[in-house]
């Protein structure tokens, strides 16, 4: 007993609190990124998950076994190190490297060749598709000189204004 509360109850309270903190960090973690900016090896998700797994397995150990509390805590911490390591290797590292693979800016579309999939009428809007390593991007488009551009034509993206690509017909040299 600690402070008049059974040890397994402490583990349950820690489990509930750390689960809540982890969920909040997942939603609002970008705000807290500045606090851990200089320490690349210290990932808050790993710390929160380690404490959560340790508290959860210690709670179950206290509830279901008759081992000593110290032995249960050490076993729970060792199991948590293994689970947290697997979480890092198989979930967090792949997610961090894939996070920016599909991101593009409107500035990066300038100068790219696209294909018209919905014809662009004079003084009107159509649709283009840009294909690349990151996937396929479709954008609304209008002609640079307000000319008709038929479906299936290749165009050069000149600019992007308010989310609409400004294009002109492209003829390879």
pLDDT for position 1: 62
Give me the DSSP letters along 47-82.
Answer: HHHHHHHHHHHHHHHHHH--S-HHHHHHHHHHHHHH
**Model confidence at 108, in pLDDT bands (50, 70, 90)?**
confident
pLDDT at 117 over 70: yes
Q: Which pLDDT tens digit goes with each residue over 124-171? A: 999 999 987 767 888 999 999 888 999 999 999 999 988 899 999 998
Q: Which pLDDT tens digit goes with each residue over 55-107? A: 999 999 999 999 999 999 999 999 999 999 999 899 888 877 664 555 677 78
pLDDT for position 32: 66
**Higher pLDDT pick, 58 / 4:** 58
Find tokens 């500045």 and name the residue.
Answer: 34
Q: Are 138 and 125 in contact (CB under 8 A)?
A: no
| pTM higher than the cut 0.75 | no
pLDDT for position 103: 62
Distance from C-alpha of 72 to C-alpha of 36, rounded to nearest angstrom: 31
């Amino acid at each position: 007993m600690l402070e008049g509360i059974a040890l397994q109850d402490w583990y349950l309270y820690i489990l509930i609190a750390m689960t809540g903190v982890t969920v909040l960090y997942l939603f609002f973690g970008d705000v807290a990124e500045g606090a851990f900016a200089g320490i690349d090896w210290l990932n808050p998700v790993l710390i929160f998950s380690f404490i959560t797994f340790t508290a959860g397995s210690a709670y179950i150990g206290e509830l279901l076994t008759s081992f000593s509390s110290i032995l249960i805590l050490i076993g729970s911490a060792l199991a948590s190190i293994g689970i947290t390591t697997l979480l890092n290797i198989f979930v967090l590292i792949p997610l961090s490297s894939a996070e920016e693979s599909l991101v593009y800016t409107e500035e990066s579309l300038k100068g790219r060749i696209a294909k018209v999939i919905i014809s662009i009428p004079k003084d009107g809007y159509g649709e283009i598709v840009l294909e690349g390593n990151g996937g396929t991007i479709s954008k609304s488009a209008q002609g640079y000189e307000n000319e008709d551009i038929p479906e299936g034509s290749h165009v050069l993206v000149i600019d992007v204004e308010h989310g609409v690509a400004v294009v002109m017909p492209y003829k390879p040299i």
